[in-house]
Amino acid sequence: MTLYKQVYTSPLGKLSLVASDTALRGIWFEDQKYFERGLEKRPLLETHPILEETKRLLDRYFQGEAIVYTDLPLSPLGTPFQQKVWSVLLMIPFGEVITYGDLAKELDCASAQAVGNAVGKNPISLLIPCHRVLSRDGKLIGYAGGLDRKSWLLNHEAQIKEKSC
């Protein structure tokens, strides 16, 4: 399988965008924990229609638009449990948050820690919105891209949501 990579410059730093011929495989901040984790081989630094669409979506998001990306095929690499957690993350509405405990309840999982571990290994940050998950008391914890970025993203989405109301 061929993988393609583009670097996207966001207001929060450079992002590595990786796609296969059929789906987006990852979006990572270049200095984040688990950077490009799970890639079977080195991606080619070439453009691809999926990467171009991802860049258009990110442009719109960072320009202040609540993006919808249901047509963008996603294929994050992970265990069945991680896949299950990430699918629930996709259901968190734009501009809203959930706690790790509530996420664990939604998944019928006794361990919020196991859920948090899966959330932290999400390879498609921003589009699979792991930044929308908070601690039981509403504090910012556990974002592989850094808590400063998590805070920025939540504030950014709150401002977008406020403008659209």
Residues in the chain: 165
Summary mean pLDDT of the chain: 91
For residue 117, CA distances in Å to 1, 63, 78, 113 come to 28, 31, 12, 6
Rounded Cα distance between 33 and 23, Å, is: 22
Q: What percent of the chain has pLDDT over 90?
A: 69
* Statement: residue 165 has pLDDT above 70: no
Average pLDDT rounded to a whole number, residues 100-124:
91
- pTM for the predicted model, two decimal places: 0.91
Tens digits of per-residue pLDDT, 134-159?
988 888 888 888 899 999 999 999 99
Tens digits of per-residue pLDDT, 38-59?
887 788 888 999 999 999 999 9
Owner of token pair 């630094």: 45
The set of catalytic residues is 130
